[in-house]
């Protein structure tokens, strides 16, 4: 089976995430897209994150109606920052020989890949599907690669003319560009919008997720649900941080 690993903080999951997962599944005939929320995202340890259990619950609600989209606990409770190269290897160790894994990622995250933990090794683990996002040109992709893999400037120049749905074939990996999704939306915007009013949330997130955000009072100015990432991991999983106020 062809499948994809889609990592993120998903705080919260939104229509943009779902659109790129569905577009990737359609285009590459993926039987599964595993949504893997990071428990301890290395790049976001300084900002407050919503408890893992809430982010996972929202993922489960958002993906319930599509058999191909599956929430995963692969990165939960690992006790250490979730480095993608480890997550990919953990997933691969559970797959069959005939399975074919892709790493699904948005272009804004891919632009930072050189700063990730062991990026060359990560890129060598599987092929990538990079989804476009407003504000980024797909030609920037080649330039964002770790130096060891970066194509020559002549090739980079040629890439600038390549259409959005093209492919960059490198010796160790192939990067497929998914250019037909253009959702102008981010979790940051949604958290900011929810702080002001929870009324319009279903424009950005599925109805069930909007209902969950309201019910659990997530993202409000003084929400009791937000916890410092990295602090009290067991607190999140044991629900001690959860409020039962209605
Ligand atoms: P935040 O604003 O908190 O960073 P986000 O909307 O970027 O949230 P993440 O959980 O950080 O969501 O992203 C998970 C993955 O989804 C990343 O690979 C990111 O690039 C991708 N992604 C998120 N939103 C979009 C979008 N609108 N279009 C394409 N890719 C997206
Ligand atoms: Mg992000």
What DSSP character marks residue 25? H
Which ligand is nearest to the Cα of residue 106, counting in written order?
1
Domains of the chain (ranges; CATH) run 2-178 (3.40.50.620)
Q: In percent, how much of the chain has pLDDT > 90? A: 62
Q: Which atom of ligand 1 is nearest to the CA of 134?
A: 28
Which ligand is nearest to the Cα of residue 20, counting in written order?
1
Centre of ligand 2 from the C-alpha of residue 246, in Å: 30
The strand pair at 226-228 and 167-169 is best described as: unpaired
DSSP for 91-121 reads: HHTTS-TT-EEEEEEEHHHHTTGGGSSSHHH
Which ligand is nearest to the Cα of residue 13, counting in written order?
1
The residue that leads in pLDDT, 198 or 58, is 58
- Mean pLDDT (whole number) for 26-51: 91
pTM of the model: 0.89
Centre of ligand 1 from the C-alpha of residue 106, in Å: 6
Measured CA to CA in angstroms, residue 182 lies from 4, 17, 134, 139, 185 at distances of 20, 11, 6, 16, 9
Q: Which residues line ligand 1 (CB under 6 A)?
A: 8-11, 16-17, 20, 105-106, 108-109, 131, 133, 183, 185-188
- Quick check: helix, strand or coil at residue 34? strand
The residue that leads in pLDDT, 183 or 135, is 183
Q: What is the mean pLDDT of the chain?
A: 86
Checking if the pLDDT of 208 tops 60, the result is: yes
The strand pair at 226-228 and 48-50 is best described as: antiparallel
Q: How open is the CA angle 79-83-84, to the nearest 5 degrees?
A: 130
State the residue for tokens 């092929």: 127
Q: Which atom of ligand 1 is nearest to the CA of 109?
A: 20
Q: Specify whether the CB–CB gap between 29 and 214 falls below 8 A.
A: no
Q: Comparing C-alpha atoms, which of 6, 38, 1, 32 is closest to residue 178?
A: 6
Centre of ligand 1 from the C-alpha of residue 133, in Å: 9
User: From the CB of residue 157, how many other CB atoms can be counted at a distance below 10 Å?
Assistant: 12
Query: 224 falls in which pLDDT band (50, 70, 90)?
Result: low
Q: Comparing C-alpha atoms, which of 76, 178, 58, 72 is closest to residue 127?
A: 178
Q: Specify whether the CB–CB gap between 75 and 246 falls below 8 A.
A: no
The residue that leads in pLDDT, 208 or 80, is 208
Query: 22 falls in which pLDDT band (50, 70, 90)?
Result: very high
Structure confidence by residue, pLDDT tens digits, 124-138: 999 999 998 766 666
pLDDT of residue 246: 31
Q: What is the largest CA-CA distance in the chain?
A: 61
């Amino acid at each position: 089976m062809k499948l994809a690993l889609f990592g993120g903080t998903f705080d919260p999951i939104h229509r943009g995430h779902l659109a790129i997962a569905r577009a990737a599944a359609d285009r590459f005939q993926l039987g599964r897209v595993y949504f893997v929320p990071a428990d301890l995202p290395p790049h976001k340890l300084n900002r407050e994150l919503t408890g893992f259990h809430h982010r996972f619950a929202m993922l489960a609600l958002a993906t319930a109606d599509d058999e191909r989209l599956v929430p995963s606990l692969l990165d939960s409770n690992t006790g250490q920052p979730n480095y993608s190269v480890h997550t990919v290897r953990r997933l691969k160790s559970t797959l069959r020989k005939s399975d074919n894994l892709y790493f699904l990622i948005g272009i804004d995250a891919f632009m930072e890949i050189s700063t990730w933990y062991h990026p060359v090794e990560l890129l060598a683990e599987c092929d990538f599907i990079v989804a476009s996002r407003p504000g980024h040109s797909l030609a920037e992709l080649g330039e964002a690669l770790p130096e060891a893999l970066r194509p020559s400037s002549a090739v980079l120049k040629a890439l600038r003319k390549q259409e959005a749905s093209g492919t960059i074939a490198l010796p160790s990996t192939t990067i497929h560009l998914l250019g037909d999704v253009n959702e102008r939306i981010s979790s940051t915007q949604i958290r900011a919008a929810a702080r002001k009013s929870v009324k319009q949330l279903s424009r950005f997130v599925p109805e069930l997720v909007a209902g969950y955000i309201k019910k659990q009072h997530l993202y409000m100015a003084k929400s009791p649900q937000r916890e410092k990432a990295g602090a009290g991991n067991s607190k999140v999983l044991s629900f001690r941080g959860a409020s039962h106020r209605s």
